[in-house]
Structure 1
Amino acid sequence: MFEVLVYLFENYFEANIRPDQQTLEKELSAAGFEQEDIHGAFDWFTSLESMTNDSGIASTDSSTSFRIFAEAETKKISQESLSFIMFLEQANVLNAIQRELVIDRAMALAQPEVRLEETRWIVLMALWNQGKAKDYLFVEDAVFSDTKPILH
C-alpha cells in the first residue's frame, strides 16, 4: 500500500491533479498495483484529509505538550522514525496535533514496521495536504542532504 501512496503523491496530489477515484483506480491497476493496496491507499488519503479538516491543526501550541508512546507504536514505528518526529516537533515544523496525525497515519499503514523513509513521506504528505510543506522541505534538506547549508 505504501508504494501506491507515494505513486499517488508524486504523480497526482503534489501536482494538484485530482482525477476521480474510478479513473485513478484504473490507472493504478494498469500500473501493476493490487486492488487491495489501491483501496487501502484511497482510504489512507481520505482519512488524512478528514483528520486535517477536523483537527484545527494550525491553532495549537505544542510548547507544553508531552508525549508517551504506546507499546504498539514503539513496536511498529522505528526508533529512528520516532526520534525524527520529535525532532520536527522541537524544530517547530510539526505541532502536537500534526505529530499525532503523522503517528496515526504511520499506524494506519498495513506494513509491520514503519521506517524513517516511510515516516519522511508521511510527514511530507501530511504537511503538503495542509499547505505547509515548505518548512519541512527546508529542514529535511538540511538534515538529509549530502552537502550542509552555509549560514551567512
Structure 2
Amino acid sequence: MYEVLVYVYEHFWGGKTSPDREQLGRRLHRAGFERGEIQQALHWLDGLDSAAQGIRLAPAEGEATAESVSIPPTWAASPLSRRVYSAHELEHLGAEGIACIHFLENAGALAPALREVVIDRALAAPESPLALDDLKIIIMMVYWRFDADPDVLVLDELCDDASRRIAH
C-alpha cells in the first residue's frame, strides 16, 4: 500500500489535482501496481478524505483572505494543552512514531488538527507497531491532502534514509 501512496504523492501533489478514485485506480493499474494494493490504498485515501473533512488550515502569515480564514473548531487544542495517547495508540504507533509526531509538533510543522488526522490514518494502517518509515509516508500524505508545504528541513527529516547516513 505504501508504494502506491508514494506514487500518488509524487505524481499528484496536492489532493485537489488528483483524478477521481476510479480514474486513479486505472492509472495505478497501468503503472504496474497490483489490484489488492490499489484497493487498499484507495480505501485508505477515502479514509483520509473523511478524516480531513471540515478541517481547513489557517493561512500562512500575510496570506489571510476572507475565503481562506479558518474558524477553529470548538475542539481545537490550546497552545498549552498536551496530547495523551491511549494504550492502543501507543502500541500501534510505537515509541519511534510518537517521538516523530512529537518532534514535528514541537518544530511547529504539525498543527494539532493535522496531528489528529495523522494518528487517525496511522491507526487505519494494518501493521502494528507501525514502522517509522511508513508513518513518515502517512505524514507526507496528510500534508499532500491539505496541500501544505512543510519546511525544507522537515521534508529532509521525513524523506531521509537513516540507514544510508555516513558518520563523519
Where do 5+ consecutive residues of structure 2 fail to align? 59-71
**Secondary structure in structure 1 of the residue aligned to 2:18:** coil
Deviant stretches of 4+, over 4 Å:
14-17, 142-147
In the alignment, which residue of structure 2 is the partner of 1:85? 101
Q: Within 2, Cα distance between the matches of 1:45 and 1:34?
A: 16
TM-score by length of 1: 0.77
Q: Which fold has the larger relative contact order, with Cα–Cα distance below 8 Å and residues 6 or more apart in sequence? A: 2
Counterparts of 1:20-35 in structure 2, within 5 Å, are: 20-35=20-35
Q: Within 1, Cα distance between the matches of 2:45 and 2:157?
A: 28
Note the alpha carbon deviations across 1:55-111, whole angstroms, 9 max, x for none: 345444552221221122222212111101011111111121111111111111122
Q: Normalized per residue, which structure has more helix?
A: 1
What is the aligned-residue identity percentage?
32
Check the 8 A contact 1:62/1:95 in 2, yes or no: no
Structure 2 counterpart of 1:75, from 91, 96, 99: 91
Where do 5+ consecutive residues of structure 1 fail to align? 148-152
Q: Within 2, Cα distance between the matches of 1:127 and 1:16?
A: 12
In the alignment, which residue of structure 2 is the partner of 1:104? 120
TM-score by length of 2: 0.71
**CA RMSD across the alignment:** 2.8
2:145 is aligned with 1:132:
no
Give aligned pairs, total: 146
